[in-house]
Structure 1
Amino acid sequence: MSYEGWILITGAFVGMTCGIVGVYLILRRMAMMADAISHTVLLGIVLAFMITHTLEGVHMLIGATLVGILTTFLVQWFHSKGVQHDASIGVVFTTLFAVGVILIATQVGNAHLDVKHALMGEIAFIPWNTTEVFGIGIPVATLMLFLVFTVVTFCVLAFYKEWKITAFDPALAASIGLPVAFLHYLFMTLVSITTVASFDAVGAIMVVAMLITPAAAAYLWTDRLSVMLFLSAFFGIFSAVAGYYFAVWIDSSISGSMALMTGAVFLFSFLLSPTHGLLSRWVRPREAAS
């Protein structure tokens, strides 16, 4: 596989995985939780590094996932105590992220871990850090993203009906005996591992863009969940590939260009989608009046 090929494959896995998870975030009206978790997992990564003194290994994923779950728990706890949901997200997100930044500045030292890297990532470096799998050198980040994509796909297929009900009508899900709390925290665990698996490659900014924007664009094209999942994954892949070639063309940040392409896809969908597009909403009343 060529250097360019690994970058495209890695970006595609980020787009697919985040796109699938993002659909449920949009349907649950929890889009800002993606922003919160994508930043607070920095604390989990820093704590894992402080314990193990290495940036390699599954402990990074475990640490970040636990902090992601902690973020979800704290947001729900504050909300249950009367704090508005968006305020709960803002308080928990900023506090945990600030603790992570302070620990980087005071405890991490000379390790290759800094706030700029955490926010922006650097997907161009991904092909250089490889591991042997069946005699083939595969980038570690790409392999991790493939495993997370497999887990996410399995969980979505296994709990498709349950998550569909909880996403659209949590009260009905509870009334028919579904374990709503378990399904919620399982889903937020998937959000956490998806975020941290994408974190090193593309940074927090692109993780937020990939989790929210392709799903929001897909929501404009269809009202069917299965089609929405497919479209969101497709938009994520398209944004990654188009963003890479746009970055090469203008000689700019690859992750930033990929995030920009997600915005371009959303803008196109917002204007031209036949279901909820701005143009179709303008044309239909004129046709009905004529």
Structure 2
Amino acid sequence: MSYEAWIILIGSMAGITCGITGCFLILRKLSMLADAISHTVLLGIVLAFLISQSMNGVYMLIGAAVVGLLTAVFVQLLHSSGVQEDASIGVVFTFLFAIGVILITLYAGDVHLDVDHALMGEIAFVPWDTVQIGFLPELPKAFLMLSAVLLIVLVIIFLFYKELKITSFDPAMAAAIGIPVLFIHYLLMGMVSLTTVASFDSVGAILVVAMLIAPGASAYLLTDKMSVMLILSGVFGVAAAIIGYYAAMLFNVSISGSMAAVNGILFALVFFFSPAKGYLFKKFALKKVKYGSEQ
């Protein structure tokens, strides 16, 4: 497969994985928690390296998942103790992220593990970072990691679709009918953690936030059906990866940054022109009603 094809494929996989996971965050009004986890998993990556002395992707995933879950637990504890949710998120993620930065500075300064790499990532280098497993040809590590995480996310959604759907729309009813709301919440946070760290090499932690939120937010404005929203979010994620790549080539800019920017542009288009919830549609409908009442 060509260099260009690998970049588009890996970017598309990151878009699909982040997009479908982000749908549940949007429905639960937890979009900013994605920002928090995308930063705090840096601590998980550092701790995984310090314990294992290895940059193996499996250790990174485990470390990120553990710290991502701890982030959700700490936010929940503070919020249940009376602290506002946005304040809880701000305190937890800045504290854990700061610890991660300090540990990198103290113990991993001579290792290819730096804050810029984790935050800003660059997909242009991903096709060259390959590994060979068994009889398979050499494949990019990011492709293998994203493939594994995408499969895990799809299996979780398939197995717990009803529970995820009900707890997202009406957690009180979900608790009343016996669904373990807290377990589903932390299961989702684990999905977000895995998705975030798997996308590090592709777009970096900061830009993962755009891929986690923008495709799902765009899909939300186009449909009221959960299954359709998941499909549309994946489509938006792929579209942003493809358009973002060619836009980056055209303007000679960062590929990952271009992909994130296209996510924002697609959302803006949907926001204004969505036939159901779009801004212009609502303005037109309001004027039509006002004009009709004056007749």
Per the normalisation by structure 1, the TM-score is 0.97
Residues 93-112 of structure 1 aligned to structure 2 (within 5 Å): 93-112=93-112
Report deviation, 1:15. Answer: 0.3
Report deviation, 1:182. Answer: 1.1
Question: Residue by residue, what CA displacement relative to the aligned partner does 1:126-181 show, whole Å, maximum 9, x if unpaired?
Answer: 11121225432211111110111111111111111111110010000000011111
Tell which deviates more after alignment, 121-130 or 36-45. 121-130
Q: Which residue of 2 is the match for residue 197 of structure 1?
A: 198
Report deviation, 1:109. Answer: 2.0
Identical counterparts, % of pairs = 59
Report deviation, 1:263. Answer: 0.4
Decide whether the 8 Å contact of 1:17 with 1:233 is kept in 2: yes
Q: Over aligned residue pairs, what C-alpha RMSD do you find?
A: 1.1
Q: Which residue of 2 is the match for residue 57 of structure 1?
A: 57
Q: Which residue of 2 is the match for residue 124 of structure 1?
A: 124
Q: Which residue of 2 is the match for residue 149 of structure 1?
A: 150
Q: Which residue of 1 is the match for residue 232 of structure 2?
A: 231
- Please give the secondary structure, in 1, of the residue aligned with 2:221: helix
Decide whether the 8 Å contact of 2:41 with 2:193 is kept in 1: yes
The whole-number CA distance in structure 2 between the counterparts of 1:135 and 1:54 is: 23
Tell which deviates more after alignment, 222-231 or 133-142. 133-142
Unmatched tracts of structure 1, length 5 or more: none
Q: Which residue of 1 is the match for residue 68 of structure 2?
A: 68
The whole-number CA distance in structure 1 between the counterparts of 2:48 and 2:283 is: 53
- Please give the secondary structure, in 2, of the residue aligned with 1:221: coil
Report deviation, 1:14. Answer: 0.5
Specify whether residues 274 and 145 from structure 1 end up closer, same or farther in structure 2 by C-alpha distance, changes over 3 A only.
same
Report deviation, 1:286. Answer: 3.1
- Please give the secondary structure, in 2, of the residue aligned with 1:162: helix
The whole-number CA distance in structure 1 between the counterparts of 2:182 and 2:227 is: 23
Per the normalisation by structure 2, the TM-score is 0.96
Amino acid at match of 1:128: W
Question: Residue by residue, what CA displacement relative to the aligned partner does 1:98-117 show, whole Å, maximum 9, x if unpaired?
Answer: 11111111110211111111
The whole-number CA distance in structure 1 between the counterparts of 2:179 and 2:143 is: 35
Amino acid at match of 1:29: K
Q: Which residue of 2 is the match for residue 42 of structure 1?
A: 42
Report deviation, 1:48. Answer: 1.0
The whole-number CA distance in structure 2 between the counterparts of 1:16 and 1:57 is: 20
Q: Which residue of 2 is the match for residue 6 of structure 1?
A: 6
The whole-number CA distance in structure 1 between the counterparts of 2:12 and 2:119 is: 19
The whole-number CA distance in structure 2 between the counterparts of 1:201 and 1:15 is: 10
Q: Which residue of 2 is the match for residue 218 of structure 1?
A: 219
